[in-house]
Amino acid sequence: MKILLTGGLGYIGAHVCTLLQSRGYRVVIVDNLVNSSKQMLRQLLAIDSKNPPILELLDITNTKDLEKLFQQHDDLSGVIHFAALKSVNQSIQKPLKYYHNNIIGLIELLKVVEARSLPLIFSSSCTVYGQSDVLPITENQPFKPSYSPYGFTKQMGEQIIKDTTSTNEQFKAMSLRYFNPIGAHDSALIGQWPINEPENLVPYITQVAIGKRKELKIFGDQYDTPDGSCVRDYIHVMDLAEAHLLGLEYLWSSKSNYYVFNVGLGEGVSVKRLVKRFEEVTKISINHRITNPREGDVPIAYAEASKIQTQLGWIPKYSIDEALLSAWKWEQYLDSSGLSIDST
Ligand code: NAD
Ligand code: UDP
């Protein structure tokens, strides 16, 4: 079976690609390289050259290109939609860029996917909950007004998809609300590969560990949490990848049209604790200091993770320590190989 991954050269898409390849699926990747590089394709080939993904370089906001793509690949069994811009900060500076890319991109994709009734998985985020009143966060918690245009694009995206499924009995979709994906493929040949200074915590930690950055800033330690720093639910990217495959399999046999699942381990870990765990598993000390809180950060977010386990049979395999070690191996690989993300 052939699966289309929009944004498949990005962090999460590339890991899902390896999983699909290893299970015998053919993969078509659509990407415009706005936040990735063709080097990622070479890395994917280094992991599995026998069943290589097909790369289609195009922008999903371009209606004509998308229509042509779906005519060319008329034998698809499903679509996983990763392609989006994801910087919270940048989305505040450039809201139109984010609404255009993430909302127009989704709408254009939906037009072709819905017309063919192809099952669709959407990359959503725990950001839709804002600071939830209830912890752990269940899927039925209401959306809070988002702090950023990025967050709004995930809330709107889910609504647009849900509304579209309600108009076509044959069209099925699922929103996966990721908590905090971290880590890298077991091979260490792919991982999170920020083009600029990392905004996410783990790539920042690994870049400090390798000596690329001087110090980690911990954004605030006066929150109402056990040690004052923010609490998140970190999940290994390959466990997250598995959730996509289970999601597709579920959609192929499901009766309802629209589903929502949290994807997290259900374990709240503070920033300070995560840094400590990294230091413990790698025996490297991370130079860090406490700074002001980052605007828009919610103090605590972790998932009630049982729905996806019960309904889809998803069983996470990796611990947070294993995820941290894999991220560290990837950083070391990047350092020793001299690879650069802009080397297209
Ligand atoms: P990423 O930036 O690494 O990957 C996204 C990919 O999409 C990139 O390769 C980029 O070039 C491509 N892309 C963006 N706009 C495009 C367009 N218009 N046409 C074609 N390609 C386009 O991001 P990621 O971390 O892999 O995230 C994947 C998805 O998961 C995103 O939708 C993101 O919002 C969501 N998500 C990510 C996280 C996280 O922490 N990484 C958390 C929650 C949700
Ligand atoms: N964080 C931090 N320093 C950094 C990056 C992140 O202290 O350089 C904190 C951030 O405030 C949040 C947690 O680490 O509490 C996870 O942040 P990330 O950006 O990775 O994911 P988010 O939860 O914001 O989606």
The model's pLDDT over 9-59, given as tens digits with 9 standing for 90+, comes to: 999 999 999 999 999 999 999 999 999 999 999 999 999 999 999 999 999
Residue nearest to ligand 2 atom 14, measured at CA = 201
Residue nearest to ligand 1 atom 19, measured at CA = 59
First to last CA, the chain: 29
Ligand 1 centroid from CA 7, angstroms? 6
Which residue out of 17, 19, 29, 34 has the highest number of ligand 1 atoms within 8 Å of its CB and is therefore the one to mutate? 34
Q: Rounded to whole angstroms, how far apart are CA atoms 241 and 256?
A: 23
The answer to whether residue 343 scores a pLDDT higher than 70 is no
Is the separation of the CB atoms in 132 and 301 below 8 Å? yes
Per residue in 132-144, pLDDT (tens digit) is 999 999 999 999 9
Is pTM beyond 0.95 here?
yes
* Mean predicted confidence (pLDDT) in 148-158: 97
pLDDT score of 341? 77
* Mean predicted confidence (pLDDT) in 278-297: 97
Q: Rounded to whole angstroms, how far apart are CA atoms 206 and 203?
A: 5
Nearest to 325 by CA among 229, 209, 246: 209
The answer to whether residue 266 scores a pLDDT higher than 90 is yes
100: CB partners within 8 A, 6+ apart: 61
pLDDT score of 147? 87
β-pairing verdict for 269-270 and 231-232: antiparallel
Q: What residues does ligand 1 touch, defined as CB less than 6 Å away?
A: 7, 9-13, 30-36, 59-61, 82-86, 101, 105, 123, 125, 178, 181
Considering every ligand atom, which ligand is closest to the CA of 151? 1
Instruction: Please name the residue ranges forming H helices in the chain.
Output: 11-22, 39-47, 63-72, 88-93, 95-98, 105-115, 149-165, 201-210, 237-253, 271-282, 306-312, 320-337
Among 11, 25, 150, 250, which one carries the catalytic annotation? 150
The answer to whether residue 175 scores a pLDDT higher than 60 is yes
- Whole-number average pLDDT of the chain: 97
Ligand 1 centroid from CA 9, angstroms? 9
The answer to whether residue 344 scores a pLDDT higher than 70 is no
Per residue in 46-92, pLDDT (tens digit) is 999 999 999 999 999 999 999 999 999 999 999 999 999 999 999 99
Q: Rounded to whole angstroms, how far apart are CA atoms 77 and 117?
A: 10
* Mean predicted confidence (pLDDT) in 154-168: 98
pLDDT score of 312? 98
Find tokens 């996806």 and name the residue: 308
Ligand 2 centroid from CA 188, angstroms? 23
150 is catalytic: yes
Per residue in 84-131, pLDDT (tens digit) is 999 999 999 999 999 999 999 999 999 999 999 999 999 999 999 999
pLDDT score of 146? 81
> Which stretch of DSSP H or E encloses residue 2?
strand 2-6
The answer to whether residue 342 scores a pLDDT higher than 80 is no
